[in-house]
Amino acid sequence: MRFVMSGPRKYRWRRLLAALALPIASGGLVPVFAQAAPAGGFEELLVPSSMGPIKVQVQWAKHGGGAALYLLDGMAARDDKNAWTFETNALQQFAEDDVTLVMPVGGLSSWYQDWISPSNTNGQKLTYKWETFLSRELPDFLAGYGVSKTNNAVAGLSMSGSAALQLAAYHRDQFKYAASYSGALNISAPGMREAIRVAVLRWGAYNIDAMAPPWSPQWLRMDPFVFAPQLKGLPMYISAGSALPGEFNRPSNVSQVFDTGVGMGIEAVTLMNTRAFEYRLNQLKIPATYSFPPAGTHTWKYWELELSKSRPGILAALGA
């Protein structure tokens, strides 16, 4: 007989289990208690990591299946919610599917990388270790809830578009599908490192040199243009907007006009990056599904639409 709880008591119990798991060594976390996969519903988990406890929001697979889609946040990632949960209808899109949505919270300006040191420009106390968390600590923890460690997809936008491809490239045993929406996919191109330097200073006052030294092996390891050969055989969805305002741009005041202009500029950069990456994959004869709509700026509603367009491929790759 299986003891099943529902409502707030169930969530408190799972948070207790997560707390009990905290003392486990971070190099290969295994939850203290394993249980059958939950069926449906939304929950917030506290997951132990080398960075300390990390909140992860999950929408459990409708029928308790093991497949999972990791949805990574953008540059301005908050420490209370993953933006996919409130900026888009991602939860509704997959509500009837047998796929668990895994949405890590936090990682402001992290690029979801393992940094070499704490940032020395903002008083950061810890060293970001996001690749370790997403590829080892989090899947080990979720395995205790019945989530597969080998049947996953990963999708990211803007900052996390390149991270999604990187995770899939270097952890092919974990990820069967990757999607990048408006990602920076050619970060070693002229001017890109300094553009990223400005961006991480803008969002959190981080120092890019604490992430990876310029043109170092670690930096090149982050660049989709460089690691593209490792994506051979992986189903991918790659998109970027035209940088022209479209159906989701309706500025009604000066501030919104300014934001639209900023979104146009950033999207123009990611479009150039994405087109360069498309050329690179074509050179390598690596197929992917591309989407270059005639309108679209660097804003969430366009990424919501691209997620819906990539959803059939995600479900097919995961057999869900």
Supply the residues annotated as catalytic: 158, 267, 298
* Strand pairing category for 175-181 and 152-157: parallel
Cβ–Cβ < 8 Å for 29, 17: no
- Which residues on neighbouring strands pair with residue 290, listed in sequence order? 238
| Residues contacting residue 203 through CB under 8 Å, at least 6 positions apart | 75, 76, 108, 109
* Strand pairing category for 100-104 and 54-59: antiparallel
Q: What Å distances lie between residue 305 and 10, 56, 61, 85, 214, CA to CA?
A: 33, 23, 21, 14, 35
Q: Return the DSSP state at 114.
A: B
Checking phi first, is residue 162 left (phi over 0); if not, alpha (psi -120 to 50) or beta? alpha
Please state, as a whole number, how many other Cβ atoms lie within 10 Å of the Cβ of residue 68. 29
